[in-house]
């Protein structure tokens, strides 16, 4: 018989919230005397009293919630909703059978639910085609892995926003959420996998033409910014014998330069690790001054997948938000070629209206940075403040401030000409790096000819000139959590943390969670993340063992 039990599998049978509130009141009266005595004995124990009182009422909250759910499950409407979910599931399900499972409510309160679980009628023999059954009654309340939706959000947000899983575990313990570390990890992985699964379903819906176009950013001035970060991964671990290679650097042992280290150090390290570039996108509405319009939530998303995958992702998100019907769309980015060469394809995929004004702006700070590199590569003196030097010395050196002003004024052709002229005069300079100077000249001419350096026009039109917004997003989403010293990620877990942090920091967590709950009612089958190579030592070891 379906229902709920508290205080053990065979404990008190839950009938309704009134019954549970009676138990709560009894617990409060019993505990009140003890807490009062503690406070009378030493007022400085009030913090401990606060903690114990919170845990007491968290326990009461769990009892109260089980009463509410138990009462709802007794209604005719609940049965009708359950039948409707079963009939609309992605594959045919059996009528179901009752089973008892351990469930965790708010603040980790454990209880036991006997609910209706429906298995697939025709279970696939192929593992990749297998779609799991559904605990219909828990899905109606938004449970994930037998964990209540509030607890999923609390645990996931704490882990995603903390510096590490260990730190999150300690903070949750202090908050009275007494969950095992491995369970916390499981909740976060499940939450991230569900978010990735829903994103894959949205991509399929978009590319099949069945997605309904959004209107959130329609008619607005929109900026789309794209950039890449860096994260150390465990995708290519190289075992090192500490005795055979004692005193050698990791580069000397592996034959590959150490990645991510500022200098080589001799150490007894046990493995090397590679860096992987997570590609991040940000879409937001800006005002006539080029600054973000705070009335609209931004969207941050990203992936450790390749550039082709990100192209599809950007197009889908633009269509879903209605950015393809914006008044204008401005693409801001640095000089990475993998970005600029895909903009036309993104616009085509996103079905951007012909009436939308499109602007492509090279980040003014990256442009100035490359100009600085070109001047230094000439081997001349680098003078930033010309008031501190005589006219003769000024004539001998290119002035960075002067050329930077010319570049910002849209005179990119004159800047390139000055660099070429100085290159010819510096051919006998032993400090000259000709290849670097030529690269910078080509860089400026290419972006100038394609209209990416028309800063005066962009400024008059109130467009953002820099890509500082996406740089900030990478710092907040990637660097502060995933680029810590001594941290190495397996890519599937890194992909989960990336999308979870992006959703939270975008301010879109609640709407994303609502979408996930509804999607999981239709199918519990998890999509694979857009990653190709195996990233688990355990899985690699299993494959090697299978071959033997």
CA 251 to chain centre: 32
- Residue 531 clears pLDDT 90, i.e. is over it: no
- The mean pLDDT value for 131-141 works out to 92
pLDDT at 30: 92
Tell me the DSSP string of 253-297: HHSSPPSS-SS------S---EEE--EEEEEEEB-TTSSB-TTS-
H-helix or E-strand spanning residue 174: helix 165-174
H-helix or E-strand spanning residue 452: none
For residue range 396-433, what is the model confidence (pLDDT) as tens digits? Answer: 456 788 899 999 999 999 999 999 988 888 877 888 89
Q: Report pTM.
A: 0.85
Nearest to 214 by CA among 532, 515, 484: 515
For residue range 468-521, what is the model confidence (pLDDT) as tens digits? Answer: 899 999 999 999 999 887 788 988 999 999 999 999 999 999 999 999 999 999
Can you give the residue ranges of every domain in the chain?
Answer: 3-141, 364-460
DSSP structure class, residue 102: E
d(CA 319, CA 308): 17
H-helix or E-strand spanning residue 359: strand 357-362
Q: 244 pLDDT band (50/70/90 cuts)?
A: confident
Give the list of residues 6+ apart from residue 173 with CB closer than 8 angstroms, or none: none
Q: Alpha carbon of 45 to those of 41, 197, 297, 336: distances in Å? A: 8, 47, 43, 58
- Residue 540 clears pLDDT 70, i.e. is over it: no
Nearest to 116 by CA among 154, 143, 156: 143
Give the list of residues 6+ apart from residue 457 with CB closer than 8 angstroms, or none: 410
Q: What percent of the chain has pLDDT over 90?
A: 69
């Amino acid at each position: 018989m379906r229902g709920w039990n508290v205080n053990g599998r065979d404990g008190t049978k839950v009938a309704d919230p009134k019954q549970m509130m009676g138990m709560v009141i009894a617990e409060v009266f019993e505990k009140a005397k003890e807490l009062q005595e503690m406070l009378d004995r030493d007022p400085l124990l009030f913090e401990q009293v606060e903690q114990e009182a919170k845990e007491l009422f968290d326990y009461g909250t769990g009892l109260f919630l089980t009463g509410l759910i138990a009462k709802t499950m007794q209604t005719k409407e609940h049965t009708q909703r359950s039948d409707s979910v079963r009939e609309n599931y992605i594959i045919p399900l059996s009528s179901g059978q009752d089973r008892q499972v351990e469930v965790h409510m708010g603040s980790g309160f454990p209880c036991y639910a006997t609910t209706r679980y429906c298995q697939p009628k025709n279970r696939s023999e192929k593992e990749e085609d297998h779609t799991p059954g559904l605990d219909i009654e828990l899905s109606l309340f938004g449970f994930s892995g037998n964990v209540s939706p509030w607890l999923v959000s609390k645990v996931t947000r704490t882990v995603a926003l903390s510096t590490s899983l260990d730190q999150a575990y300690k903070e949750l313990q202090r908050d009275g959420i007494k969950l095992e570390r491995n369970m916390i990890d499981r909740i976060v992985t499940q939450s991230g996998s569900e978010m990735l699964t829903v994103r894959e379903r949205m991509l399929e819906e978009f590319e099949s033409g069945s997605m309904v176009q959004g209107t959130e950013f329609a008619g607005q001035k929109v900026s789309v910014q794209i950039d890449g970060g860096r994260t150390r991964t465990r995708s290519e671990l190289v075992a090192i014998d500490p005795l055979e290679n004692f005193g050698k650097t990791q580069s000397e042992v592996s034959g590959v330069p150490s990645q991510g280290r500022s200098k080589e150090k001799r150490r007894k390290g046990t493995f090397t690790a590679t860096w992987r570039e997570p590609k991040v996108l940000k879409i937001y509405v800006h005002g006539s001054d080029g600054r973000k319009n705070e009335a609209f939530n931004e969207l941050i998303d990203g992936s450790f997948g390749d550039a082709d995958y990100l192209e599809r992702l950007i197009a889908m998100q633009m269509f879903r938000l209605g950015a393809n019907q914006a008044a204008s769309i401005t693409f801001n980015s640095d000089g990475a070629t993998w970005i600029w060469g895909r903009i036309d394809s993104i616009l085509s995929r996103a079905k951007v209206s012909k009436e939308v004004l499109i602007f492509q702006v090279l980040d003014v700070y990256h442009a100035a940075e490359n100009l600085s590199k070109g001047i230094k590569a000439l081997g001349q003196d680098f003078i930033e403040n010309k008031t501190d030097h005589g006219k003769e010395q000024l004539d001998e050196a290119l002035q960075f401030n002067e050329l930077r002003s010319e570049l910002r004024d849209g005179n990119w052709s004159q800047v390139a000409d000055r660099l070429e002229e100085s290159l010819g005069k510096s051919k006998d300079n032993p400090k000259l790096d000709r290849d670097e100077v030529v690269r910078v000249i080509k860089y400026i001419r290419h972006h100038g000819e394609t209209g990416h350096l028309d800063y005066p026009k962009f400024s008059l039109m109130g467009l953002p000139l820099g890509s500082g917004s996406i740089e900030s997003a990478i710092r907040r989403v990637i660097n502060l959590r995933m680029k810590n010293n001594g941290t190495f990620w397996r890519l599937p877990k890194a992909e989960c943390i990336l999308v979870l942090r992006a959703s939270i920091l975008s301010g879109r967590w609640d709407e994303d969670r609502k979408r996930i709950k509804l999607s999981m009612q239709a199918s519990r089958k998890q999509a694979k993340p857009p990653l190709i190579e195996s990233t688990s030592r355990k899985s690699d070891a299993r494959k090697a063992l299978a071959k033997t």
